[in-house]
Amino acid sequence: MVRIEPRPESLVQSPFTVYESRALGVPPKRLRALDLSDGGRLIYLPAGRRLEITERARVLTAATPGAWVSHDTAAVLTRLGLPPWLGDCHSIHLSKPHELPRVRRAGVTGHRVRCIPGELTDVDGVPVTAPPRTWLDLAAVLPLNYLIALGDQIIRIPRPGLEQRSEPHAYKEGLRLLIRQHPNMKGVEKARLALDEMRVGADSFPETFLRLALLEARLPEPELQMRLDPDDTRSPAADMGYRKFRIAIQYDGAPHLTLQQQSRDIRRDETFRRAGWAYFKANADDLADGFEGVIARIKRVRPGRA
């Protein structure tokens, strides 16, 4: 039995590559001790410990020179959100330049792609496709409505004080250029269609789905982030609505369940109603039925009767 000697502190809790252990002077025989398990070619894991996705991504890219995290995994690491059938991260998606061999190892989905400078970013030291490129990569597998919703999240304006950025991940013109730079990618035509339907102002996937459902029901294009008083930046805002008809529409998702947010929501709702607006609220149940019920109620409202 191999005697278990203390590992360097940086290797105690985290997975590591054989290159990292060599750099720290760990003898090769120490890697055969029972407190470590084989994580695949060049990788060692703390025995019995479940790894987070960021840890798996870090060690896999460290063991695969020239590779970066992409597709579903990149969307998870950059917190873009994915439909429920994607993003389980059982397999880490790694891409390499198209002139290099595809990554082939257990637990990895490998891709060979053409990548232009500026299309990669860094998440906790892990090379990852930036959100605009992730959006384009996923165009091949996402249904059009999800691709539109993901695109809305990329072009949305961040909430001051709530996010660690002040600018959108991209602007529509930048995405249009990205599409032109990759004319032969699978899914690029779908990306063009999605770009035409994307709008700034949706703060979540369900908000985009609600907007698209309104259009599918032959209602007009709603105004997004619609302030009661458009000239007052402190005026309460609904997710969307029709100013001409004095109709406001709100989607209440999980963030609206906190007591503090519910208090704000009540004040906002009352302000719109006191001003004589018809006010409609949708939730996850409405999302599940395609918003049919809430759209039927909206259609019953007529100008002058709000």
E strands, the chain, in order? 16-17, 36-38, 43-46, 68-69, 92-97, 108-113, 120-123, 126-129, 223-227, 237-242, 247-251, 278-282
- Percent over 90 (pLDDT), the chain: 69
Query: Helices 144-155 & 131-138, crossing angle to 10 degrees?
Result: 170
Give φ, ψ of 288 to 5 degrees. -65, -30
pTM value is 0.87
**pLDDT tens, position by position, 214-239:** 999 999 999 999 999 999 989 999 99
**pLDDT tens, position by position, 151-194:** 999 999 998 777 888 899 999 999 999 999 999 999 999 999 99
**pLDDT tens, position by position, 90-104:** 899 999 999 999 999
Residue 258 banded pLDDT, cuts 50, 70, 90:
low
Residue 256 banded pLDDT, cuts 50, 70, 90:
low
Residue 32 banded pLDDT, cuts 50, 70, 90:
confident
**In the chain, where the domains are located:** 9-51, 54-197, 205-299
pLDDT exceeds cutoff 70 at 303 = no
| CATH classification code of 205-299 | 3.40.960.10
**pLDDT tens, position by position, 261-270:** 667 788 889 9
Candidates 45, 51, 42; CA nearest to 17 is 42
> In the prediction, which pLDDT does 139 show?
98
> In the prediction, which pLDDT does 302 show?
60
pLDDT exceeds cutoff 50 at 306 = no
